[in-house]
């Protein structure tokens, strides 16, 4: 073996993988070739640890227009000749090193995946995880990431319409930054990412190439963090959103007005020219030859290795037809974008890299796109049995005087109120207005329901249709039971779009885990994916795109297992949309799904348990059959005009969800005559799944009850909208103004340290 061992290690390749490369090539690879293998066989590009699990996810359906992983993003037919294109990806490690640029370029990359397919980006969503805000560095990361997302998205003129933010100690040194983009296109104008037609020119369009981002795919995305990770700052890309705006408009014009000029368009993301050329050639069954001497550069002295692996932003490959080469170049010139012919499509099935007259790499496409796959054996962590069997009943209930020191109240009613206010003011559950007010969520004038609700709703102009969008995931649930946690992530995302009045259609996912080579982490991955697969099958929501982010560890400690689900729902009539806030006095308020008398097991993984008792324990559960019945009742009730509001009951439990319904428009709830036979904490703050708070006019009461009966879905009358207090029986009574104050001031106060 002649290769430098340090280079093999730097590229996150194993010695066995290196020997396999030698065997497949029939020779030793040179430095450029080894760098290309390191990128394409990285987890980020090759999915070598996750592909066997990803095959478990359902990915087909009558509305699905793309093969999973077959294009830059997934596409879903929504009727009227239109489709939604969507994808979610991570930029975790770059954001941990340089939060603003890491998050900004994460947005830039996911947006390029969408307009590379000829779709107009119409929405951005995010899913963010940080360590506790009491720590100064976590506040720095939080502010930088939020600023980067807003800064890039706002400059592009794309609204950021929904998302989520969560906090846990495990994310302190390794925040999770997942960005999702959604685009709209005519089905007939979808643009493939194919290098078609041997002899056709390959154009590199957009920014000049620099040294930023080199090694992002394999150095950042396939390595755990330690104290030396700050030295990786040069591997974080630097973005220019104004240039990307020009690139976006030019590519959309090309797709919409001149699709016959090209065979395909491909984004340059992770691994830069290497992955973009290889993937585009593979899709078309062709080869490609690239001359790196023709690549425009913004730095002196760059060698072929650096040019092929640079992840400089705002760049696209365009595969023009020979007869339209000049037409394509004139189009980009009109948008003040540079375009250079850097190569040609070939028919030999190989990627050839040249530097002028010198040959620097020659690798069969099929070898680069078929990394080894590792089907590992997961082992249930030793700590899990103890956590799952923890006797939650041994904890004092809110009725017990032992809770007085924890909550500072002598009466049970006072303790319930104190617990509710404490939860509402926690960074985890508090209003995230501080975040989304930094995002332009109304630009393009499609936003019918914006941030802060269960799901965003966007109009599809020129039709009566609308789409609902959300991101969801709960690392605590997956930590305590990976299978249930994965299923709940899908179920809650579906429940959220249903509460907006939309039929769930499809999923894009981002799987954030630690080092898959560890048996306990692989156990988490496999369990979560199997749970997601079961839920996706139950709700008929195939997974059409996504991303896997592994090695999210610092000094050997992994983040919570955090699968994030981006869900798309369709409203045939956007005017039938629903929101979460109570709308008018006198409406009946119902709990659709499991009733008030929740078992103590409902406290498993709950925010109440973590915030009040400082405990993470129990075993979350979900009944997918009940979940489906509850969602069908809610969906049909909204379509039938029976409901005035609908709100998912999730983190924080029933009391928090009711408070959010009241806070939205300042309307209270009279909940009289209610009793709780079991524990107050489980009833009010337990996180039993498959529950929706719904309000309807009294005259619709009979129809709603009949609908719930037909679907065998439990329905409990909680009270009536009105007044200035949230009141439930004789165990809870709090002014809505106090609830709103705690809820809206919680995050700003946490950011003060």
The sheet with strand 358-364 has its strands ordered as 262-267, 315-320, 201-206, 339-346, 287-291, 350-355, 358-364
According to DSSP, residue 546 is labeled E
What SS3 class is residue 136? Answer: helix
According to DSSP, residue 55 is labeled T
Contact 145, 99 (CB under 8 A): yes
Contact 439, 451 (CB under 8 A): yes
State the Cα–Cα distance between residues 332 and 324, nearest whole angstrom.
13
Active site residue 258: no
Check residue 275 and give left, alpha or beta (phi > 0: left; psi -120 to 50: alpha): alpha
Token pair of 277 as six digits: 């050329």
Question: E-assigned strands of 80-216?
Answer: 82-90, 120-130, 160-167, 176-186, 201-206
Measured CA to CA in angstroms, residue 337 lies from 248, 251, 259 at distances of 11, 11, 19
What backbone phi and psi angles, to 5 degrees, belong to 606?
Answer: -80, 155
State the Cα–Cα distance between residues 148 and 95, nearest whole angstrom.
9
Contact 182, 94 (CB under 8 A): no
Q: How far apart are the first and last CA of the chain?
A: 54
Task: Give the angle subtended at the CA of 595 by the CAs of 591 and 601, to the nearest 5°.
Answer: 130
What SS3 class is residue 716? Answer: strand
State the Cα–Cα distance between residues 237 and 95, nearest whole angstrom.
10
Token pair of 490 as six digits: 């899908």
CA 683, 688, 690, 694 torsion-angle sign = positive
Q: Which helix (H) or strand (E) holds 660?
A: helix 653-665
Which candidate in 44, 93, 441, 647 is catalytic? 44
State the Cα–Cα distance between residues 588 and 586, nearest whole angstrom.
6
Token pair of 192 as six digits: 């493939």
State the Cα–Cα distance between residues 681 and 398, nearest whole angstrom.
6
Question: E-assigned strands of 672-714?
Answer: 691-696
Contact 457, 571 (CB under 8 A): yes
State the Cα–Cα distance between residues 705 and 645, nearest whole angstrom.
16
Contact 642, 635 (CB under 8 A): no
Closest CA to 611 of 401, 426, 408: 426
Token pair of 542 as six digits: 């195939």
Active site residue 324: no
What SS3 class is residue 654? Answer: helix
The two beta strands, 287-291 and 350-355, are parallel
- 3-state SS of 317-380 is EEEECHHHHHHHHHHHHHCCCCEEEEEEEECCCEEEEEECCEEEEEEEHHHHCCCCCCCCCCCC
Q: Which helix (H) or strand (E) holds 423?
A: helix 412-424
State the Cα–Cα distance between residues 427 and 342, nearest whole angstrom.
50
Per DSSP, what are the bridge partners of residue 671? Answer: 728
The C-alpha torsion from 354 through 356 and 357 to 358, rounded to 10°, is: -50
Could you list the active site residues? 44, 91
């Amino acid at each position: 073996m002649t290769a430098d061992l340090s280079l093999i290690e730097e590229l996150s390749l194993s010695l066995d993988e290196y020997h396999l490369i030698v065997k497949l090539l029939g020779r030793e690879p040179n430095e450029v070739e080894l760098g290309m293998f390191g990128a394409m066989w990285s987890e980020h590009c090759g999915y070598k640890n996750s592909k066997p699990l990803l095959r478990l996810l359902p990915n087909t359906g009558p509305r699905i227009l793309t093969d999973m992983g077959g294009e830059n993003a997934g596409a879903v037919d929504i009727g009227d000749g239109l489709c939604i294109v969507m994808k979610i990806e991570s930029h975790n490690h770059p954001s941990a090193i340089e939060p603003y640029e890491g998050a900004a370029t994460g947005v830039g990359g996911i947006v390029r995946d969408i307009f590379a397919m000829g779709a107009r980006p119409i929405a951005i969503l995010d899913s963010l995880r940080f360590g506790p805000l009491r720590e100064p560095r976590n506040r720095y990361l939080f502010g930088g990431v939020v600023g980067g997302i807003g800064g890039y998205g706002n400059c592009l003129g794309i609204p950021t319409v929904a998302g989520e933010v969560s906090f846990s100690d495990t994310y302190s040194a390794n925040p999770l930054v997942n960005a999702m983009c959604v685009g709209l296109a005519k089905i007939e104008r979808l643009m493939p990412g194919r290098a078609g037609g041997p002899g056709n020119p390959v154009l590199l369009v957009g920014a000049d190439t620099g040294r930023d981002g080199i090694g992002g795919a394999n150095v950042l995305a396939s390595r755990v963090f330690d104290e030396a990770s700050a030295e990786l700052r040069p591997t974080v890309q630097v973005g220019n959103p104004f240039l990307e705006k020009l690139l976006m408009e030019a590519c959309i014009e090309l797709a919409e007005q001149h699709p016959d000029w090209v065979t395909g368009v491909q984004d340059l993301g992770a691994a830069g020219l290497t992955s973009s050329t290889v993937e585009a050639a593979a899709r078309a069954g062709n080869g490609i030859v690239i001359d790196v001497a023709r690549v425009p550069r913004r730095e002196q002295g760059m060698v072929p290795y650096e040019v092929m692996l640079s992840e400089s932003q705002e760049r696209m490959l365009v595969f023009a037809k020979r007869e339209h080469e000049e037409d394509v170049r004139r189009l980009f010139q009109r948008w003040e974008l540079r375009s250079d012919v850097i190569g040609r499509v070939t028919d030999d099935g190989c990627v050839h890299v040249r530097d002028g007259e010198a040959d620097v790499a020659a690798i069969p496409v099929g070898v680069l796109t078929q990394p080894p796959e590792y089907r590992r054996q997961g082992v249930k962590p030793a700590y899990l049995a103890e956590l799952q069997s923890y006797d939650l009943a041994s904890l004092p209930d809110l009725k017990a005087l032992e809770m007085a020191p924890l909550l500072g109240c002598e009466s049970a009613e006072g303790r319930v109120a104190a617990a509710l206010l404490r939860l509402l003011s926690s960074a985890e559950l508090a209003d995230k207005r501080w975040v989304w007010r930094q995002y332009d969520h109304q630009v393009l004038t499609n936003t019918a329901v914006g941030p802060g609700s269960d799901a965003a709703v966007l109009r599809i102009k020129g039709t009566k249709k609308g789409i609902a969008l959300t991101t969801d995931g709960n690392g605590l649930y997956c930590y305590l039971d990976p299978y249930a946690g994965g299923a709940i992530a899908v179920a809650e995302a579906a429940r959220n779009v249903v509460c907006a009045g939309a039929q769930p259609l499809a999923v894009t996912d981002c799987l954030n885990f630690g080092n898959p080579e560890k048996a306990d982490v692989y156990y988490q991955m496999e369990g979560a994916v199997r749970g997601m697969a079961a839920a996706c099958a139950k709700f008929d929501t195939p997974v059409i795109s996504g991303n896997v982010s592994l090695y999210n560890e610092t000094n050997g400690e992994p983040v919570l297992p955090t699968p994030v689900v981006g869900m798309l729902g369709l409203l045939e009539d956007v005017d039938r949309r629903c929101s979460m806030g109570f709308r008018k006095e006198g409406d009946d308020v119902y709990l659709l799904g499991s009733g008030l008398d929740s078992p103590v097991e409902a406290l498993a993984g709950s925010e109440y348990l973590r915030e009040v008792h400082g405990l993470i324990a129990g075993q979350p559960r979900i009944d997918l059959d009940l979940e489906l019945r509850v969602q069908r009742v809610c969906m049909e009730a909204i379509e039938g005009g029976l409901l005035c509001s609908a709100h998912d009951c999730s983190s924080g439990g029933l009391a928090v969800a009711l408070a959010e319904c009241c806070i939205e428009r300042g309307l209270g709830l009279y909940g009289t005559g209610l009793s709780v036979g079991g524990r107050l904490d489980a009833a009010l703050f337990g996180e039993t799944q498959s529950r929706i708070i719904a309000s309807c006019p009294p005259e619709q009461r009979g129809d709603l009850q009949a609908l719930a009966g037909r679907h065998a879905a439990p329905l409990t009358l909680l009270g009536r909208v009105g007044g200035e207090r949230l009141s439930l029986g004789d165990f809870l009574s709090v002014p809505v103004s106090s609830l709103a104050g705690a809820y809206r001031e919680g995050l700003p106060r946490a950011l003060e340290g």
